[in-house]
Chains A and B, each alone.
Chain A
Amino acid sequence: MKTVLRVEQLSGGYSPKRAIIHDLDFEIKAGEMIGLIGVNGAGKSTTIKHILGLMTPHQGSIRINEKTLNDDVEQYRSGYTYVPETPILFEELTVEEHLRLTAMAYGVPEQQYLQQSEQLLERFHMVKKRKALTAHLSKGMKQKVMIMSALLAKPSLFIIDEPFLGLDPLAIRSLLQELMEVKQNGSAILMSSHILSTIEHYCDRFIMLDQGRIVAQGALEDMLEHANRQGHSVAHLEDAFYALLNGGEA
C-alpha cells in the first residue's frame, strides 16, 4: 500500500540547541489510522507541528506523498488537513462560510463542496447552525466545524489532535463513523488522543511517545505483547500504556 507519511530520523524542538523530539522514525500507509499516544509533554504536539510544517526539524525528514515541504509547499500542504485540539476558527465567518473557505483553499470542486457540505452539516447536526457566526458557537460546535472543514478537504492524510475534547457522544459517534469512511476511501489518519479506551477499537496501529522518543509502536496486539514481555499482564491499551511508561505499573 502507498506510504502517505514518512518520518525519518526526525529530531526537533523550539530551540535549535535543545531538541524535544529525538530520532523519530515511522510511516503511515494509505487507509491506516494511527494513534499517537503519550503523556502531556511527551512530544506529541511537537511532532504534529513538525509534520504540519510549522516547525523546522533539526535533523531528519518528513514526506507527505513522497514530497517534503521544501520540494513543493503547495503539494505538501494539500496532502493533509489538520484539526487542532482547541478549535481555531475565523470568528467572523458563519459555519457554512468556513466550510466554503476551506473548500476553496483546498481547491475542492464547487459541486463537490456543495454536496458534501450538506451531508456533513446533516451528519453533525449542524444544519440549523449553518448561518451562525462561529464566534457565537459553543466549544463543541466549533470543534465540529473544524472536523467538517477537514473532512471537506479530502486529503490523503488527516492530522487530528485530541478530536474528542468538547464533543457530545453523538458527535463523537459521527466523527468516528466519518473517520472509518475516510479510512475506507484510502486516506490515512494520524490521531493524537488521551482517550485510549476509545481509540484502541479504531486505530490500526499506535505510536507511543515518552520524553520525545518512540518507546513502542505497532498494532494493539504488539503493544500488549511489548508490555507483557516486560513482565506485566495487560489486556487493554490503557494498561499497556501505563506499563510501558518509565516506572509505570500495569
Chain B
Amino acid sequence: MAEQADVIELWHKRKQQFLKEVAPYIRYMAQSGFPAFLALIGIVCIIQYVGLIKNVPPHLPIAWIGAIVLTPFLCYSPLRTYLKEPDLIFLMPAEHRLSPYMRLSSKRSFRNSLLLFFAVLLVFWPLYRQSDGYIGLWLVVVMLLLKPINSYFAWQERLLSWNNQRMLLRLLRWLLMFVLVLAWLMNASLLVEAVLTLAVLGLLYVVYRQMRKFDFPWQRLIIEEKAMLRRLFSFFNWFIDVQSEAPAVRPRNYLAWLIRAVPYRQSATFIYLHLITFVRTEIGGICIRLLLLGGLVNYLLAANRGMDGWGVVLSYVLFGLLLSLQTGTLRKVHRYAIWKDIFPLQVQLQQQQTITIDRLLNIVLLALLFLPTFPIWQGYGAQLLTMLVFFMIYPFVRSKRLAAVLKKEEDE
C-alpha cells in the first residue's frame, strides 16, 4: 500500500511541477490578446455555423464532413505520463510497481480526450440531426464504445517494438475508423454497420495480437512526452522567447526537392539553412497541418459563399496570419548557434537571407492557401481583390517588420 501511495504521490508531484512550469507562459499568452483573438474567431465561426444549420444546402455531404471532423478526435489518444529520460535509470527498476501511476495517467488522459471528442460531437450534432442517416442516440452509444477501444489500440501501438510497424498500424486504424464513422453516419442499415464494426474491431484485434511488443514502452512514452512538451513550448514561443531543447527532426524526404532548389551560392547560405530547418522541424509540420486545415476551411467557406463570400476572405487572412506566426519562429531556432559568429558572412547579410526565406515561405504558403478559394473567383470581385491585395502586400509588410525586429535584437 505504501509503495502504491509513493508512485501516486510521484504522479501528482510531477503534474504539479508541470503546471508550475507552464503557468507563467500561460499568463504571457493571456496578456498577448491571443484568447481574445481566438474568441473573435470562435464567434465568427459560430455565426457561420448557425447560418449553415439554418440553411443546410440540399446536397451537403454531412456524413463525409462528420467523418472527416470526428475521426481524428475519435482516434487520437494522447497519454500524459510525465516520464523523463532519467526515469530509464531511476524509475525503471520500480517498473513492477508503476501500475497505479500508469492507471492515473491513462484515466486522466482518457477522460480529457473523451470530453474533447464529445464536445466536437456536440457541435456537430445540430448538423447531423438534419442528415438522412440520423440515428439519434445510437451514434453516441457507438462512439462511447469506439473511443475506449481506440485508446486500447493506441496503447497496443505504443508497445510495438518497430517504429514503422507502429506508424503503419496507426494509419490502418485511422483509416478503418474513418470508414466505420462514415458508415454509421450514412446509416444504410443498422445490421450492416454492426457487422462491419465487429469485423473491423476483430480484424484490428487479430492484427495487433500478432505483433512483437515490449512489456512496458519506456522509450516510446518518453518520446511522446518530450514531443508534447516541445509542441507546447513552441506554441508559447509565439508570445515570448522560451528556452527549450532543440526541435525534433523528421527527414520529410517528400520535400527534399525544395531543399535542392536552393542555389549553391554564399549569398544563399542562411536561406539554405532556414529552409532545411523549416522542412525538417515541427515548424514545417505545423505549417503543413495548418495549410491542410486552412485549405479545407477556405474551400468549404468558398463553396458555401458564407457571409456573401467575405467568410472565406476572413478565413484566408486568418490562416495566413497563423502561418506567418509559424514562419516567424524560424529565425529563433539558430539564434544562439556559434556558426553565426564564425561563418564569414556579415550579420547584415545573414539577416537579409533570413528575411528573404521568410518572405518566400510566406508567398508560397499564401499562394497555396489561396488555391482552394476558387469557387468565389468568379462573381465576387471585391472579395477576390481583398485576398489578392493581402497576398501581394502582406509578405512585404512582414519583411519590413522582421527587419526591424532583427535590427533591434542585434542592437540588444
Partners in one complex: yes
Q: Which of A's residues lie within 8 Å of B, judged by CB?
A: 52-54, 73-78, 81-82, 84, 88, 90-93, 97, 100-102, 104-107, 110, 113, 133, 135
Q: B264 to chain A: which residues have CB within 8 Å?
A: 100, 104, 110, 113
**Complex contact A101–B338 (CB within 8 A):** no
Task: Please encode chain B, from 234 to 249, with 1 for each CB lying within 8 Å of some chain A CB and 0 for all others.
Answer: 0000000000001101
In the assembled complex, B29 has its CB within 8 A of some CB on chain A = no
- One of A78, A97, A104, A133 near B259 (C-beta < 8 A): A97
In the assembled complex, B409 has its CB within 8 A of some CB on chain A = no
Q: Knowing A91-B249, A105-B343, A105-B345 are in contact, say whether A54-B272 is a contact too (CB < 8 A).
A: no
Q: B338 to chain A: which residues have CB within 8 Å?
A: 54, 84, 88
Q: Which of B's residues lie within 8 Å of A, judged by CB?
A: 246-247, 249, 251, 259, 264-266, 268-269, 272-273, 276-277, 280-281, 334, 337-339, 341-346
The 4 A-B pairs of least Cβ separation, nearest first, read A78-B344, A77-B344, A105-B343, A92-B280
Q: B273 to chain A: which residues have CB within 8 Å?
A: 90, 93, 101
Chain A's nearest CB lies how many Å from the CB of B330?
A: 11
What CA separation (Å) do A74 and B269 show in the bound complex? 14
Q: Knowing A93-B276, A97-B259, A133-B251 are in contact, say whether A104-B339 is a contact too (CB < 8 A).
A: no
- One of B268, B281, B344 near A92 (C-beta < 8 A): B281
What CA separation (Å) do A189 and B276 show in the bound complex? 32
Which residue among B249, B281, B344, B346 has the maximum number of chain A CB atoms within 10 Å of its CB?
B344
* Interchain Cβ contacts within 8 Å, total number: 74
Q: B277 to chain A: which residues have CB within 8 Å?
A: 90, 92
- One of A54, A93, A100, A113 near B341 (C-beta < 8 A): A54
What CA separation (Å) do A80 and B346 show in the bound complex? 15
Q: A88 to chain B: which residues have CB within 8 Å?
A: 337-339
**Complex contact A104–B272 (CB within 8 A):** yes
Q: Knowing A90-B337, A107-B266 are in contact, say whether A52-B249 is a contact too (CB < 8 A).
A: no
Q: B265 to chain A: which residues have CB within 8 Å?
A: 104
Q: B342 to chain A: which residues have CB within 8 Å?
A: 52-54, 77, 81-82
Which residue of chain B has the shortest Cβ distance to A73 in the bound complex?
Answer: B346
**Complex contact B344–A97 (CB within 8 A):** no
Chain A's nearest CB lies how many Å from the CB of B352?
A: 14
What CA separation (Å) do A54 and B338 show in the bound complex? 9
- Given A54-B341, A90-B337, A105-B343, 20 other A-B contacts at CB below 8 A? A52-B341, A74-B345, A75-B344, A77-B343, A78-B344, A88-B337, A88-B339, A90-B273, A90-B276, A91-B246, A91-B249, A92-B277, A93-B276, A100-B272, A104-B266, A105-B344, A106-B266, A106-B343, A106-B344, A133-B249
**Complex contact A105–B269 (CB within 8 A):** yes
Chain A's nearest CB lies how many Å from the CB of B138?
A: 48
What CA separation (Å) do A75 and B272 show in the bound complex? 22
A-B residue pairs in contact (CB < 8 Å), sample of 10:
A52-B341, A54-B338, A73-B344, A78-B344, A88-B339, A90-B334, A101-B272, A105-B269, A105-B345, A133-B251
Which residue of chain A has the shortest Cβ distance to B253 in the bound complex?
Answer: A131
Chain A's nearest CB lies how many Å from the CB of B9?
A: 36
What CA separation (Å) do A133 and B249 show in the bound complex? 8
What CA separation (Å) do A101 and B249 show in the bound complex? 18
Q: Knowing A74-B344, A101-B272, A105-B344 are in contact, say whether A135-B249 is a contact too (CB < 8 A).
A: yes
Which residue of chain A has the shortest Cβ distance to B345 in the bound complex?
Answer: A105
Chain A's nearest CB lies how many Å from the CB of B134?
A: 49
What CA separation (Å) do A74 and B348 show in the bound complex? 11
Chain A's nearest CB lies how many Å from the CB of B312?
A: 35
Chain A's nearest CB lies how many Å from the CB of B14?
A: 27
What CA separation (Å) do A95 and B3 show in the bound complex? 48
- One of B268, B280, B346 near A74 (C-beta < 8 A): B346
**Complex contact A92–B276 (CB within 8 A):** yes
Q: B339 to chain A: which residues have CB within 8 Å?
A: 88, 90, 105
What CA separation (Å) do A74 and B345 show in the bound complex? 6
Which residue of chain A has the shortest Cβ distance to B247 in the bound complex?
Answer: A92
Q: A97 to chain B: which residues have CB within 8 Å?
A: 259, 272, 276
Q: A75 to chain B: which residues have CB within 8 Å?
A: 344
Chain A's nearest CB lies how many Å from the CB of B107?
A: 35
Chain A's nearest CB lies how many Å from the CB of B203?
A: 35
Q: B276 to chain A: which residues have CB within 8 Å?
A: 90, 92-93, 97
Chain A's nearest CB lies how many Å from the CB of B196?
A: 42
Q: B272 to chain A: which residues have CB within 8 Å?
A: 97, 100-101, 104
Q: A106 to chain B: which residues have CB within 8 Å?
A: 266, 343-344
What CA separation (Å) do A84 and B338 show in the bound complex? 10
**Complex contact B269–A101 (CB within 8 A):** yes
What CA separation (Å) do A133 and B250 show in the bound complex? 9
Which residue of chain A has the shortest Cβ distance to B343 in the bound complex?
Answer: A105
Q: A107 to chain B: which residues have CB within 8 Å?
A: 266, 344
Which residue among A84, A105, A110 has the maximum number of chain B CB atoms within 10 Å of its CB?
A105
Q: Knowing A97-B276, A105-B266, A105-B269 are in contact, say whether A92-B249 is a contact too (CB < 8 A).
A: yes
Chain B's nearest CB lies how many Å from the CB of A75?
A: 8
What CA separation (Å) do A91 and B256 show in the bound complex? 16
Q: A74 to chain B: which residues have CB within 8 Å?
A: 344-346
